[in-house]
C-alpha cells in the first residue's frame, strides 16, 4: 500500500462585527419618536374624540 500525502491549505477568516453607535442611537431616537407620536394620538382620541361619541 502506498501512503498518499495531502497538501491541504486551510484558509482562516476572521470576521469582525462592527456596530456603529451613532446609527444605533439614531435608530433608537427614530423609534422613540414614533412611539411618542403614536401614544399622543391615542391619548387625543381617548380624551377628546371618544367622549363625543
**Confidence label for 2 from pLDDT (cuts 50, 70 and 90):** low
Integer CA distances (angstroms), 50 to 18, 24, 39, in order: 48, 37, 15
- Tell me the whole-structure pTM to 2 decimals: 0.57
Question: Residue 29's domain spans which residues?
Answer: 22-52
In a domain, 44, yes or no: yes
Cα–Cα dist 36/25, whole Å: 16
- The pLDDT score that the predictor gives to residue 25 is 93
In a domain, 6, yes or no: no
In a domain, 13, yes or no: no
All cell numbers assigned to 3:
501512503
In a domain, 46, yes or no: yes
- The pLDDT score that the predictor gives to residue 52 is 86
Q: For cell 403614536, what's the residue?
A: 38
Cα–Cα dist 47/23, whole Å: 36
Count of structural domains within the chain: 1
- The pLDDT score that the predictor gives to residue 43 is 96
Q: Give the pLDDT confidence of 15-53 residue by residue, as tens digits.
A: 777 677 889 999 999 999 999 999 999 999 999 998 887
In a domain, 30, yes or no: yes
Amino acid at each position: 500500500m502506498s501512503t498518499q500525502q495531502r497538501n491541504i491549505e486551510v484558509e482562516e477568516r476572521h470576521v469582525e462585527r462592527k456596530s456603529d453607535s451613532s446609527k444605533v442611537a439614531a435608530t433608537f431616537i427614530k423609534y422613540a419618536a414614533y412611539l411618542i407620536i403614536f401614544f399622543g394620538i391615542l391619548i387625543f382620541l381617548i380624551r377628546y374624540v371618544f367622549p363625543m361619541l
